Structure formats: structure tokens, C-alpha cells
């Protein structure tokens, strides 16, 4: 059995490797994924009125077209880092309701957006650096989404990324790591 510190070292090395791989994707591959992600994921979200999405960070798959459509539909929820947790907000206007965080990620402006209770989330889209076939994801190491998934037991959880992020082996995991129910890798 691996110790927690050995798992942490293993995960950190894997994070660096997966970030390099994702950053190495060609502009053509990224554009292909951006177009495909909308076409494949949007129909899956039919019938759900509260969808927690995210704004892509760095080399993550671009969800801007999906977010624009969800916003136009009045179904878009976005996260905001609030201490050790994520606050979830309903976003109605992508131009005026968002600001860049200290990490450079677009987040809701609380005074412009309605904060929603976690139980209102029907679908939760989660990014990751890598995924395994069992739906486990390797994030950036802060645990925001693992805690959120834990607090939203009725939400459908979807891991979103590039096909290249599906690993042919099981990810190292701890008791705190939470899998997603479905993988949507384009």
C-alpha cells in the first residue's frame, strides 16, 4: 500500500507530464475539439435546467461555445473560488457578469450574479489533467471538484477533456478523490 506522501509525489509527477502533453496539442487539434465538444455535449444536456460548466484554463478544452449557448438558454452556472470551496453562481451575461481571478480564470462577479445552492446543480462538468476508464480524474491538486462532487450527490457528473487525456491505466487515488459518472472526451 502506498503512503499518502508517495501518492502525492506520484500525482505531482503525473500532473507535470499530463500538462506537457496537453500543452503540446496542435492548434488544429484544439480547434477540432472546441467544435466537437459543443456538438457532442450540448445534446446530452437537454432536459437539464441547471448546468455547472467552467471556463477553460490554459490548455483545457475550450467550452466557450457551450457556455454561450447555456447562458442564452438561461441554464449556465459557473464556479468562483471562495476560500477552500467553490461558490456557484447563475450567470446571465458573459460580458458583464465575469471577471478574471488572480489565477487568470473567468469567474462570476457576486454582486452581478445569483448565488445558487449546491442542491440546485443538475449537471456538473469537470475538467481534469487526465482521466481513467473508471471516471477518476486528476485535477490540479486543490481538491475543489472532489469536494464539490461529494456535496452534490444528485448531480450528473461529466468529465470533459481531450481524447488524449484518457489514460490506459488507473490513476493513483486517495479516499478524497471522487470519480465522474461519464467521460466526454473529444
- Which helix (H) or strand (E) is 38 found in, with range? helix 27-44
Contact in structure between 146 and 177 (CB atoms under 8 Å): yes
Other beta carbons less than 10 A from residue 157's beta carbon = 22
Break the chain into its structural domains and give their ranges: 4-185
Please, which residues bridge with residue 98 across strands? 108
Closest C-alpha to 77, from 88, 85, 87: 88
- Distance, in Å, from the CA atom of 33 to the CA atom of 45, rounded to the nearest integer, reads 18
Q: Is the pLDDT of residue 169 over 90?
A: yes
CATH architecture under which domain 4-185 falls: 3-Layer(aba) Sandwich (3.40)
Asked if the model's pLDDT at residue 5 lies above 90, the reply is: no
The span from the CA of 134 to the CA of 116, in Å, is: 30
Please say if the pLDDT value at position 1 is more than 60: no
Q: Are strands 182-185 and 156-161 parallel, antiparallel or unpaired?
A: parallel
Phi, psi of 121 (to 5 degrees): -70, 120
Q: Residue 81 and residue 89: Cα distance in Å, rounded? A: 11
Cβ neighbour number for residue 34 with a 10 Å cutoff: 17
Tell me how far apart the alpha carbons of residues 104 and 39 are, in angstroms, rounded to a whole number: 27
Residue 4 has pLDDT above 80, yes or no: no
Where do we find the cell 500532473?
15
Confidence check: pLDDT of 141 > 90: no
Grid coordinates belonging to 179: 470519480
pTM of the model: 0.93
Residue 78, pLDDT score: 99
Amino acid at each position: 500500500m502506498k503512503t499518502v506522501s508517495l501518492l502525492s509525489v506520484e500525482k505531482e509527477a503525473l500532473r507535470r507530464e499530463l500538462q506537457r502533453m496537453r500543452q503540446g496539442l496542435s492548434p488544429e487539434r484544439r480547434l477540432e475539439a472546441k467544435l466537437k465538444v459543443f456538438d457532442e455535449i450540448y445534446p446530452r444536456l437537454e432536459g437539464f435546467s441547471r448546468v455547472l460548466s467552467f471556463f477553460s484554463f490554459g490548455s483545457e478544452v475550450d467550452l466557450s461555445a457551450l457556455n454561450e449557448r447555456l447562458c442564452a438558454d438561461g441554464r449556465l452556472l459557473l464556479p468562483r473560488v471562495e476560500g477552500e470551496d467553490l461558490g456557484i453562481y447563475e450567470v446571465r451575461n458573459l460580458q458583464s457578469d465575469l471577471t478574471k481571478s488572480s489565477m487568470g480564470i473567468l469567474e462570476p462577479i457576486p454582486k452581478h450574479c445569483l448565488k445558487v445552492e449546491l442542491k440546485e446543480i443538475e449537471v456538473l462538468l469537470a475538467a481534469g489533467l487526465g482521466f481513467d476508464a473508471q471516471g477518476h480524474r486528476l485535477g490540479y491538486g486543490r481538491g475543489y471538484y472532489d469536494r464539490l462532487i461529494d456535496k452534490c450527490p444528485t448531480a450528473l457528473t461529466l468529465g470533459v477533456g481531450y481524447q488524449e487525456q484518457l489514460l490506459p491505466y488507473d490513476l493513483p487515488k486517495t479516499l478524497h478523490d471522487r470519480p465522474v459518472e461519464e467521460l466526454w472526451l473529444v
